[in-house]
Amino acid sequence: VLGQDSALVPIDITYVLYDPNDPTSLFLAYTALVPIFIAVGFVPVLFLKREIHNFFFFLGMLLCEVINLILKDLIKQPRPEGAARLGRTGYGMPSDHAQFTTFFCSYCCLFLLFRSRLDHPYLWKPFGLVCLQALGITVSAGRFVMGVHSHAQVFVGMALGNLLAFVWFLLIQFVFSPMFPSIEQWWICRMFYIRDSSHIHNVLKFEYNNAIAHRKELQKKTK
């Protein structure tokens, strides 16, 4: 029988405890799942869009997590007293939630500012920047409020996430992006239609116009 001879433990990544009598506690518990939502939600983005840049972005998120695990094992700073009561054991410096979410949000902000090209940017860019920063701050602050990380662990996690996002964005912008046309020609990219659309000014508009034009062509052929 499962667990008959040993104690069972929960999967730590999805194990979140909260006070059922406190709506704020419930809200913060859900924000603790944001990194999982991001990681899981990114998979269909990779499959549906098949953009080389997205794969490099995802690689950056994985590297961010690996760096966090290495640092935790090297620093070996325990979590605050009371974290074990919330089901959180192990090391806490730096906060993985703060680092990962800040990396994701900061990278998206840099992408919005310097790579994204859509119509009416003065309307949606400020809105996107505010929402992304609010998300990163909320998730990070929630780690301290819930008592699973200290001020310092959260702050270092946010600082490291920002730094890694900035460095990774620069690497993609100036080192990897010039290689995208060559990568696009790899046999695996041709097989799975993995492409580079960075040369297209407005991808959404381009896809929309081509879909409309293709339907019109089909309609002409059927007449």
What pLDDT shows up at residue 216?
86
Q: What percent of the chain is predicted at pLDDT more than 70?
A: 89
Top pLDDT among 150 and 183 is at 183
62: which 2 tokens? Answer: 């994985």
Cβ atoms of 4 and 114 closer than 8 Å: no
pLDDT exceeds 90 at position 109: yes
Q: What is the CA 75 to chain-centroid distance, rounded?
A: 24
> What is the pTM (predicted TM-score) of this model?
0.87
Could you give phi then psi for residue 51, rounded to 5 degrees? -95, 135
Highest mean pLDDT among 21-30, 135-144, 179-188: 179-188
Residue with tokens 């040369």, as numbered in its chain: 199
Strand partners, 78: 91
Q: Is the pLDDT of residue 3 over 50?
A: no
What's the pLDDT band for 1 if we cut at 50, 70, 90? very low
Cα separations in angstroms, 121 against 68, 82, 110, 202: 34, 46, 14, 11
- What is the per-residue pLDDT for 91? 78
Average pLDDT value for residue range 71-95: 79
Task: For residue 29, give the amino acid letter.
Answer: A
Please name the residue that has the structure tokens 């041709």. Answer: 190
